[in-house]
Amino acid sequence: MIGALLQVHSIAGLALALLWAVVGLTGATMSFEDEIQASLNRDLTHVDASAAQRLSPDELVARVEAAGDFGKVSAVTMPADPTAAVRIRFTRSEGGAQPSSVYADPYNGHVLGSPRGEDFFATVRKLHRWLLLPGDGNGYGRTITGTAAICLILMLMSGMVLRWPHRATSVKVWLKPNLSLRGRGLHRSLHAVIGTWVLPVYLVITLTGLTYSFEWYKDGAKWLLARPSPSAAPMQPKAPRGVAGARTDIADAAKPFGFDRVWATFLREQGDRYARALLTLPAGAGTVVRVRSWPRGGSLDTARDEFRIDAATGRLVSADLYDDKSFGERILASVLDIHRGAILGWPGKLAFMLAAALMPLFAATGLLLHLSRRRHRRVAAPPVGHLVPGE
């Protein structure tokens, strides 16, 4: 039984080792992305506070679009800090490429430049989530990484069974590698003991990461942790045919809309309690803009409020406040911060980064152990035949 489990563990590990190493290294690279980008772009994100009033979102967008051929604006990040620049993002091109965002001065709309490192981290993120395969989140790369995560959970469980020591209550046996060994013994000790160290982290990473790979898993987590949600906010009713006002409503909906009415409604709801707000235009048809708001002094990226506001009328469609969430709903909202260890502050991010960066170690030691077992079997195997007596 143990021999068969070892064989399956070894073969599956060798088959998926490279994929796990890529996902682990890319995850480690993104662990301190926010801090790295903040350091690289310190000169772009800071502006001199002015006595003049800051431009409205629509005025900012108009000046940025007039300054260069950036494409259509898709989102605007408005900071509360008077010395912080506004960040503007653009829609994908016809070929599917994502243009670089730009920072702009909130007082005069002057374009300060594109953030350094943005394209690099965008590529790393695509490699981590979808292996740079076609279709991005709608392609089969998402399924491959999700399946690999499930296999990693099974590998962790089988690894624990295979290394269960005779002295199970000895902390030293479980957690201290024997560095006095050489060759196969050292490889086995490193593979097993360090695997025990990182096992809790890998379980957290895989169990949270699956929410980004499989809708059935995400729906199951919502069913388990979230309260039954009330019926969704009603859509704007369509005008019946033949009604005189129908053509007027359609014409109003067809008019271009922007962020100013949304911004006015958001400020009425939030006041000065926000640190920054991200206004995102709808990807398709419609006039409802999503506004994500992060509170002052907040340390977690996922601890935020979310509003949906009709840009054509300024009507608040829905408000999802973080303080109103249940414990389970806060867990669901914080999946990304849990996934990368940020829920524990910078020590947690550092621990998760190191654990992810160690993934190639298991690929290397696993391969060396496999090759060692093969050599051992060849040496120990009896000869296939023997000479006939007298020959």
pLDDT digits (tens, 9 = 90+) for 296-347: 887 788 889 999 999 999 999 999 999 999 999 999 999 999 999 999 999 9
Q: Output the pLDDT for position 248.
A: 40
Domain spans, the chain:
2-41+116-220+348-379, 228-325
Helices (H), 210-340: 215-225, 246-254, 260-270, 327-333, 335-339
Helices (H), 30-101: 33-40, 42-45, 57-67
73-95 residue pLDDT tens: 999 999 999 999 999 999 877 66
Tell me the C-alpha distance between 366 and 273, whole Å. 52
Q: Output the pLDDT for position 95.
A: 61
Low-confidence ranges of the chain (pLDDT < 50): 231-254, 387-391
Q: Output the pLDDT for position 375.
A: 79
Q: Output the pLDDT for position 369.
A: 87
Q: Output the pLDDT for position 385.
A: 53
Phi, psi (degrees; rounded to nearest 5) at 306: -135, 130
Q: Output the pLDDT for position 373.
A: 79
Q: Cβ contacts of residue 26 below 8 Å, gap of 6+?
A: 124, 125, 127, 128
Fold of 228-325: Nuclear Transport Factor 2; Chain: A, (3.10.450)
- C-alpha dist (Å) from residue 312 to 86, 249, 254, 260: 23, 11, 10, 10
